[in-house]
Structures are given as structure tokens and as C-alpha cells.
Amino acid sequence: MPVISYIDAVTTAIREEMERDSRVFVLGEDVGKKGGVFKATNGLYEQFGEERVIDTPLAESAIAGVGIGAAMYGMRPIAEMQFADFIMPAVNQIISEAAKIRYRSNNDWDCPIVIRAPYGGGVHGALYHSQSVEAIFANQPGLKIVMPSTPYDVKGLLKAAIRDNDPVLFFEHKRAYRLIKGEVPNDDYVLPIGKADVKRQGEDITVITYGLCVHFALQAAEKLASDGISVHVLDLRTVYPLDKEAIIEAAAKTGKVLLITEDTKEGSIISEVSAIIAENCLFDLDAPIMRLAGPDVPAMPYAPTMEKYFMVNPDKVEKAMRELAEY
Amino acid sequence: MVENRHKELGLSDEKVLEMYKVMLLSRRIDERMWLLNRSGKIPFVVSCQGQEAAQVGAAFALDRENDYILPYYRDVGVVLTFGMTAKELMLSGFAKAEDPNSGGRQMPGHFGQKKNRIVTGSSPVTTQVPHAVGIALAGKMEGKDFVTFTTFGEGSSNQGDFHEGANFAGVHKLPVIFMCENNKYAISVPIEKQLACENVSDRAIGYGMPGVTVDGNDPLAVYRAVKEAADRGRRGEGPTLVETVSYRLTPHSSDDDDMSYRTSDEVAQAKTKDAIITFGAYLKENGILNDDLEKQMNDDIMKTVNEATDYAENAPYAKAESLLEYVYEK
């Protein structure tokens, strides 16, 4: 099976869907001739032409809003926000429009759009090229938010998102783009949106996380294994709506739960995961739910010292895991 | 006898009479909504009064079988022209299950009806403008020759979505008609506190499209402008901005008291230019309408409005627990 990078999985999924369905098209800033600032749409302009790989004016609300209009008509737009941090001008279009089109029209209209955006820190991106923005959208019924961790999941979930008949926000960790490689079959496959995935079976403690932090958890789990501590790792993959069943099952399995996000802590995705566990697993728990997250500051600073302090990393994860295991 | 102005536009006597009838139906539906609101039967109304000529004149200039419309909340005349019925509007007013716009989920004035290509709208103003551009883009990609028509108020022409959408359409030469229904007020704020330029249409030049201002009380002038815009769009020459100037004859909505920011004299003055009166007079002067026909027309319309009201009032609400449906595709 070929081993490809996380970003190549993005490009592959888009290319295959554009080949399969002529209604699929890409729009965004620099997505055409340049192939994207990260090269996520590399080669698509050459293959499909400027009519299906559209370099738009620099205006995020129009990128989202024009995409939404095309989606309501029946196309399958994939809108790119150059950085998740820059999605803010489009929030009205995403929350007031995309999320509510099916609901407000009593199922008369729908909005099958995918909005992709690179998120996440550890790339010297400072306040405005490092943020995690999922929590802003994670209390908006009507939206789905997918945040895959591996190239395999990227391809299967992005294809599923493009074929989905509801709006999907697809957040890609920009540090994972070239750091994370993995086996990805050449064939056409989709993975279910809304389903978490057990990335490692374990008996002593449970880690529930998503995105790049999945890899930190798996690395730390490997270290703990050599000390006889068995770690169960659940990758949420879809952070909204959450896979409650899988969360409850994973938490109940070991009774000790560590929740990890790279986002700031208060009001984050893992806050909701924590609430689900608290509501459903009281008698299964052997330790208080533990959360590891970024500090509650507006965003991560530029200086490497401060950026490092902000970011979750394998050492912090390992430390938290050991602490929980010993509880 | 005054000059016949509709012939040169290719409009038959029957056609202009039909236009007048839709204007009148819009007005009567709106008036009924106010009565229902003031008698405590419906919670809310937001009015089309004073803008019927612009709405109907524009909608008649479009291809009602193929074009897409993205109306704003006052566009009773537009949606009636595009096939929505008085009964359906009343069902929306009463928030009943059969309301085709939203099944009673949205306030009245939030139009949407896929079978007539009336695209669902929301309350945040001007969000429909980029959607109109997106639908036009999709049509162009698929080689279709429809145009999209979207409306908004002059206050809304300050929103980023107007500018972002207009620019996108200009750059990609898309067949979009942006029609600003300038009624002089954004709730209480008059036009001179909204715009530093003289006309909303002055904004068109920045987006590489023609901008025209026409008398919104003259349905024929609006028809002409929108017809030209639609023809341009279908010829692949891109978007047009049309501004129709009229006056909002009612308060902003049933929850607004307009006497706190404008005078009754000003409103009375505007009413002398009411197109329901002036266009009716034009038709009479051209021998198309007479008192008997007018009475007959009014009677028919009142019958329609009464039947629609009765039907909607007695129609069932959607089941309360149905609010859980249609968050996502089933």
C-alpha cells in the first residue's frame, strides 16, 4: 500500500472526487495557478482548468457565500480558507446560512458544501496562523466538523464530506501536512462522518483526542507500554456532532480518562466530551476526568519560548498520562 | 390621454393590467397582515407597502420559468410574481405547517420555495447577495442561460456581503442582477446617514458593472432597467446594479413606531406618489382600466385574501416535536 503524506491525501481525495463528479469544484485564495499556499490543491488547476479550480478575490465571506449559493443550486463546492484563523469574516455565512439552510426551509433546500481550512500551531505562525477554531462552530447544529489525524482518515473522510448533503467544515492540521505520513489505499473508499476510531487498544487509561494530538498520544502510549501501562486511544475524527457512544465506551473501558486538545481549554471540544462522560459514566470512573489543553490566552505567541509553552507536545502528554495512571 | 409607455417595452395591455393586479394583491395581503397583527392574530409583519411597483416591475422583466430569485424580506410582489400564492403567504403569516417557505419555522418575510426557484433567506441582511453570485456561477459552469436576481435595502448596501458579492460577480462576469430597493430608511436611519455617495448605484463602478437609478414608483421604468440587466446577463456581459427609489409607507415592521423619527407630513407627501394610485391612473388614462374593472379586480382580490386568511387561520401548526427534524439529511 502506498505511503503518502497528510497533505497528499487531501489533494488525492479532491482530485478523485473531481474526476468522479463534474459538480465538484474548488474555490479559494491562491488555490488555482499556485496550487494553494500549502499546495493542497497542487496540480488541480492544470488537470481541471480555471473554471473548476477558481482563484477568488481575497474576501472570505464571498468564498463561503458564493460556495453556499452554488451548493444550494446543486453543485459540490469545496471552499478553501487559507488559514482557519481567517475564517472569521465568513462566520455569518457559515453559521447563519450554511448551518441553517435545510432547517429553516423545512428541508426544501440543502447546502452540500465543504469548507476546508488548515489549523493548528507549532509552525511559528503566531496568533493568526496557529489557531484552532473548531469550538466556535461546535455548538451549531446543522454543521459537521471533521478533524482527521492520519492520511488514511483524511482521504476517506474528505471524500465523505464532499459527498455529504450537509455542510462540513474540514479542518486539517497544518503541521501534520508534511510531518505525518501513512498508508493510503489507491482505491476509492469513504469513512463515516460522525464516527470516532480507536487508534490503540488499552486497558489502564483512556486518552480521547483528535488531530495532531492523536500522534502525541500514540507516541507517549508506546513509552508507557514499556513500563507496563496500557493506554487506550480514541480519535474523535468528527468533533461535531460527537460520537457519544464511542466516547462512553472508551471512558467506561478503563475508568481513567485523559482528554487532550491543542485548543485553549475553557469551552473547548473536550469540555463537551467531559460533560458526556460526566453524564453517563459516573460509576465507571476511577479518577477525575483530566484535561490537557492550551492555556486560556487569546492565541499562541510568535517567540519560540512562548509557542512551546502554549503547545501540547509528546512530553506534556506523557506526563499527564503517567499522572493519571498513578491516580 | 397620456403617452402609452408600455408598448415600446413590448408589454401588452393585458400584461400591464396583470402587473397592476399583482401590485394590488401585494398591497391587500400586506394590509390584511397588519390587521391580523393589530388584532392579535399574528405576531409580526414586515411590509412591502410603497415598494410593490419596483418589485412587480422587476419580477415581470425576468424569466419566471428559469431565473433564480433571492428576495429580501419586503418582496411580496416579487414572490407573488414568481408563483407563490396569497394562501401560502398567509400560511407563513400564521406560521402554519403548510407554509412552503419554512413550515412555520421562520418569521413572515423569510421567503423560500424551491419549485419556483425562490431561494431560502434569513434575517441577517445581505447574506443572500453572495448566494445569488454562487448560483449564477453554477449556472455559468453548467452552460445554463438563467440569471439570478437579488434584492436588498439601501442600508444593506453597506454590508460587506454586498461588496464582496458584487466584486466577485464583476470579476467573473456573472449574470446577476443586484437590485437595491431604496426606500429611504433603514429602520429609523435615513439615507444621508447611510451613504456618503449620492446614489446606491454609484457603487457599481467600483465593481466594473453598470449602475442605474430609476423611479421605484414607476413599474415600467423598473421593468425596463431590469429587462436590460437580464439581457446583458444572458449575453454574457456580466452583472448590473439597479437602484429603485421609493418610500417605505409603513413603519419598518409591526414592532416599530416610525413617528419617533419621521413626520406624518412626510409620509402623507410620499403617499401622493404611491404607485397603486399613480399606476392605476396611468392604466385608466390609457383606457386599460376603468371603474367597473377596478371594482371587479378589487372584489376578486379581497375574495382571494379572505379565503387565504380563513384557510391559514384554520390550518394546523406543525407538530411541536417536529422541530427536531431536518437538522441534517435523514
Domain of A78 in residue numbering reads as 3-183
Instruction: Supply the CATH number for residue A218's domain.
Output: 3.40.50.920
* Residues A176 and A223 both lie in one domain: no
Q: Do A31 and A82 belong together in one domain?
A: yes
Helices (H), chain A: 6-20, 44-48, 60-73, 91, 101-104, 134-137, 151-163, 176-179, 212-225, 244-254, 269-280, 304-310, 314-326
Boundary of a domain, candidates A183, A209, A241: A183
Beta carbons of B132 and A142 less than 8 Å apart: no
CA B244, CA B217: separation in Å to the nearest integer? 8
Q: Do A93 and B130 touch (CB under 8 A)?
A: yes
Q: At what angle do helices B13-38 and B291-314 cross, to 10 degrees?
A: 40
* A150, A243: one domain: no
Cβ separation B134–A67 shorter than 8 A: yes
pLDDT digits (tens, 9 = 90+) for A123-133: 999 999 999 99
CATH of the domain at A139: 3.40.50.970
Express as a percent the part of chain B with pLDDT over 70. Answer: 100
**Active site positions of A, annotated:** 129
Kindly identify which residue of chain B lies nearest to residue A165, measuring between CA atoms: B329
Domains of chain B (ranges; CATH) run: 5-257+265-314 (3.40.50.970)
> Would you call B105 an interface residue with chain A, using a CB distance cutoff of 8 Å?
yes
CA distance A305 to A33: 37
My answer on whether A178 and A54 are in the same domain is yes
Q: Note the residue count of chain A.
A: 327
Domain end, chosen from A119, A149, A183, is at A183
Q: Which amino acid, B168?
A: F
pLDDT, tens only, A306-322: 999 999 999 999 999 99
Assigned domain for A188 exists: no
The mean per-residue pLDDT over the stretch B109-120 comes to: 98
**A319 and A174, same domain (yes or no):** no
Percent of chain A with pLDDT over 70: 100
* A302, A126 Cβ separation under 8 angstroms: yes
Question: For residue range A128-152, what is the model confidence (pLDDT) as tens digits?
Answer: 999 999 999 999 999 999 999 999 9
pLDDT tens digits along B91-101: 999 999 999 99
Q: How far is CA B57 from the centre of its chain?
A: 10
Tell whether the model's pLDDT for residue B57 goes beyond 70.
Answer: yes
When the pLDDT of each residue in chain B is averaged and rounded to a whole number, the result is 97
Are A154 and A204 in a shared domain? no
Residue A166 resides in a domain = yes
ipTM: 0.97
Domain count, chain A: 2
B252 carries an active-site annotation: yes
Which residues in chain A are contacts of B103 at CB distance < 8 A? 106
Residue A192 lies in a domain: no
Helix/strand/coil for B255? coil
Q: Is the pTM of this model over 0.95?
A: yes
Looking at the fold, whether A111 and A256 belong to one and the same domain comes out as no
Residues A116 and A208 in one domain: no
* Separation between Cα atoms, residue A278 and residue A46, nearest integer Å: 52
Q: Is residue A273 domain-shared with residue A214, that is, in the same domain?
A: yes
| Domain final residue, candidates A155, A183, A211 | A183
Residue B2's pLDDT band, with cuts at 50, 70 and 90, is: confident
Q: Which residue of B has its CA nearest to A51?
A: B141
Q: Which residues of A93-130 are buried (b: 16+ CB within 10 A; e: fewer)?
A: bbbbbbbbbbbbbbbbbbbbbbbbbbbbbbbebbeebb
pLDDT in tens, A256-299: 999 999 999 999 999 999 999 999 999 999 999 999 999 999 99
Rounded distance, CA B282 to CA B5, Å?
Answer: 9
In angstroms, how far apart are the furthest CA atoms of chain A? 59
pLDDT band (50, 70, 90) for residue B7: very high
Among B104, B102, B47, B105, smallest CA distance to B77 is for B47
* CB A193, CB A161: distance < 8 Å: yes
B131/A68 Cβ within 8 A = yes
Nine-digit cell at B313? 387561520
d(CA A15, CA A134): 25
Q: Are residues A242 and A98 in the same domain?
A: no
Residues A96 and A140 both lie in one domain? yes
How close A96 comes to chain B (CA, Å)? 7
Contact B134 A106 (CB under 8 A): no
- A191 located within any domain: no
List of residues 6+ apart from B92 with CB closer than 8 A: B99, B100, B101, B102, B104, B106, B108, B110
A167 in a domain, yes or no? Answer: yes
Per residue in A211-237, pLDDT (tens digit) is 999 999 999 999 999 999 999 999 999
- A31/A137 same-domain check: yes
Q: For residue A33, what are the CA distances in angstroms to A57, B106, B116?
A: 14, 43, 38
Q: Any residues with CB less than 8 A from the CB of A126 and at least 6 apart, and which?
A: A299, A300, A301, A302, A307
Residue in the block written with cell 455569518? A92
- Is residue A285 assigned to a domain? yes
Tell me if A89 is assigned to some domain. Answer: yes
The whole-number average pLDDT for the span B72-99 is 98
According to the model, what pLDDT value does residue B1 have?
59
Residue of chain A with shortest Cα separation from B101: A105
